[in-house]
Chains A and B, each alone.
Chain A
Amino acid sequence: MSDITYLSGKEPHANEHRLIFKNVDRQGWDTSIDTYINDGGYEMLKKGLGMEPKAITEEVKTSGLRGRGGAGFPTGIKWGFIPPNNTKPVYLICNADESEPGTFKDRYICHQDPHQLIEGMIISSFAVGAHTAYIYIREEFPEAAITLEKAIAEAREKGFLGQNILGSGFDLEIYVHRGAAAYICGEETGLIESLEGKRPYPRIKPPYFPAAMGLYMAPTIVNNVESLCHVVHILRMGGEEYVKLGTPRNSGTRILCVSGDVKNPGYFEVQVGKVTFRELLYDMCGGPKDGREFKAVIPGGSSSKVLRCEESFKIGKGDDAKDLAFWDLPLDFDTLAAAGSMAGSGGVIVMDDSRRMSWVLNNITHFYAHESCGQCTPCREGSTWMKKVSDRIEEGKATPEDVKTLEEIAYQIDGKTVCAFGEASAWPVEAMVDKFREELVGETSEDNNFKSAERLEQEKFLSSSL
């Protein structure tokens, strides 16, 4: 590792532990297969093909790898859900539809290190018995789609893809499938519908996992880009060794993407749970901008609940319970869940005291109103209502009652939809109102008498008929 140098100004921080991002911003690095092979690439593929597929799944289970897409579900367990008596073809899909606001890790893997992803996909396909794999990449990455297709062609030429890979008798084809700018395609069943050429309406659950019934009603494994890359490193280190990284139940490394009001925003690959908010935001990101103070942090993509910087939380149960200030919270899946938010996809968005929360909330509600697929009524209608009400608050045309209305709408969506988009759109609103109620109410006035165009139309009708 010591001989790796990085582009000046882009060196990793001392707290970082780079596995996945080892080659990102690396001096003399390019996306060609030769560069990757010279660095020891595709060795793990050779090792993997010499193992029993079940043994690879076991290694991944031992490693405790949790999916890096947002839900944090254990990857090895997910692979184990393929029915044992299955006779249909199995598909592997790489979810590269990175669209959670605040997250920008997959961008760098796809653009700068495509072969790592492809190696991870070949090993994973071998482990789950898939002979066709798709990379579902978002439309906003046109360059990455070309890079990946070129990388696939190179890998094919070297015999890492196609028929009888490296004489193992295993066949695999990987194809790139571009999405078309819809956030909902990140939901795995929505993604599958989109890959089938339909509108990406998420499927009703159960079955809870596409591993039972997925693409073309066949068993399908959908994994995030980062998760698939971790498989390469799990094979290299062995599950036993990998699990030592990070903290118990939160093993390995993960990439935190920091954006917003900090001096040095960017991506940091750290051991899960080994870094607290204080270390991340002050040591690694250089603290707040000059003359400013941190106010609030969204810890895992815009769908996660916002945290106030002066809050403290009770973490753990029974005798292990302890009070932790916000700054001492480690960024792992379980602690953030206990703090009432989630680690999500690792997108940390920071706001300082110059930000009006009504403005932030308004930006977020506009996003979800735009991206709701429209399948379930609570979400389709509710996300638009939340947008309209937050518009009013932001413009100073609201009454205190509107803040309550906003909260009520959010709770009417939460838990009442086919997919997790309902929660994704409701949680930020619930948390924002809950934690910044005073500030939001402060921007309203009892004297306001805002009437929407629809309301005025109705009133015309009412007064004439009375």
Chain B
Amino acid sequence: MSTRIVVPSPRSINRSQLSYIRPHSPSGNIEVPKPAKIDRDNLVYESEGEIPKARKINLEHVHYLTPEPSVLEQNVHSPETPGTENFEPFAISADLEEKANNRIAQYPADQKRSAVLPLLHEVQHRFGFISPESIDWVAKKLDIAPIKVVEVVTFYPGFRQKAPGKLHFRVCRTLSCAMGGSYELMAKLCEATGIDRSSADGHKDPISVSPCGRYSVEYAECLASCGTAPVCLVNDDFHEGVAADKVQDLIAQYNG
């Protein structure tokens, strides 16, 4: 049987024993080293009841509590989707570096952080979504902590952390388009592409991918073309006046 123990915070810090957060690692946790020696008087027992102090502690039986996953670990992950195979895995190329440097040059030299959105757009455009590796790369490129990239990725609905389909449909959900029939458009799209949107959540997980990985859908908030409702974006192409009965034509444009 093992005993669960809580190691008290040390009174003085022995720097040589500390391991620091790995630089530019989105999932960096402080790794507390196992103490070489355990001082029995300092041990705190977890149970409220009276547990006699053990006479002898067998280090092999001591289990350390595993830390809860950090906020970073919870937010920096790219779940596999059927669409993953549509995109190359993230890789740094000379071309990417050059594009990134041009973007960074748009901002004052001491304000490189401004380029975080343009760089993420560049990554998402090439690799389909923002992967943990790409967050590391952007952070290094801009000399900022990875968390500052993560906070941006997780805030903006324009950045996605999982692969969409090869054809990503963004249907406008907002008032004028809804009056023009965008809910019906979405239903028809899902029907035609075999997408199940039942688990979609507008906030946390807006994108639904078809089992074949070719299509994905998402609701967008106002695409600013209310006069030609309902409208949608297919990847970067804008389509207006897409009534629900035109779904087959719309898809056929890309499959022809």
Contact residues of A with B, CB < 8 Å? Answer: 98-104, 106-107, 132, 138-143, 175, 177-183, 194-200, 216, 257-261, 265-267, 298, 302, 347, 349, 351, 355, 360, 363-364, 366-367, 370-371, 373
Contacts and interface: CB of A to CB of B under 8 A. Distances in A.
Contacts of B108: 132, 216
A196 B224 contact: no
Interface stretch (B36-44, B64-72, B87-95, B151-159): B151-159
B176 A98 contact: no
Contacts of A298: 175
A182 B203 CA distance: 12
B114 A195 contact: yes
Given A104-B227, A259-B227, A355-B179, A175 B106 contact: yes
25 contacts: A102-B176, A106-B224, A107-B225, A140-B224, A142-B233, A178-B117, A179-B156, A182-B157, A183-B221, A194-B117, A197-B114, A197-B144, A197-B152, A198-B148, A198-B152, A199-B151, A216-B108, A257-B226, A259-B176, A259-B229, A260-B179, A302-B175, A349-B176, A363-B173, A370-B202
A399 B179 CA distance: 26
B244 interface: no
Nearest to B115: A197
A302 B174 contact: yes
Nearest to B157: A181
Nearest to A144: B238
A265 B223 contact: no
B236 A267 contact: no
Contacts of A183: 221-222
For this complex, into which size category does the number of interface residues on chain B fall?
A: 35 or more
Interface in B153-178: 155-159, 170, 173-176, 178
B173 A366 contact: yes
A200 B220 CA distance: 18
B121 interface: yes
Identify the interface centre among A98, A102, A298, A364: most chain B CB within 10 Å of its CB. Answer: A102
Nearest to A262: B227
A198 B116 CA distance: 8
A367 B113 contact: no
Interface of B: 106, 108, 111, 113-118, 120-121, 142, 144, 148, 151-152, 155-159, 170, 173-176, 178-179, 202-203, 220-229, 233, 236-238
B226 A102 contact: yes
Contacts of A265: 176, 226-229
A197 B108 CA distance: 13
A104 B174 CA distance: 13
Contact of A104 (B148, B226, B237): B226
Contact of A181 (B116, B202, B221, B237): B221
B174 A367 contact: yes
Contacts of B227: 104, 257-259, 265-267
A138 B111 CA distance: 21
B178 A363 contact: yes
Contact of A196 (B113, B159, B237): B113
Given A265-B176, A355-B179, A370-B221, 12 more contacts: A99-B224, A103-B224, A104-B226, A140-B170, A178-B117, A179-B158, A180-B156, A180-B158, A260-B176, A266-B227, A370-B202, A370-B203
A107 B222 CA distance: 12
A40 to B, nearest CB: 29
Contact of A99 (B116, B152, B179, B222): B222
Given A99-B224, A143-B236, A367-B221, A181 B111 contact: no
Contacts of A196: 111, 113-114
Nearest to B206: A370
B226 A180 contact: no
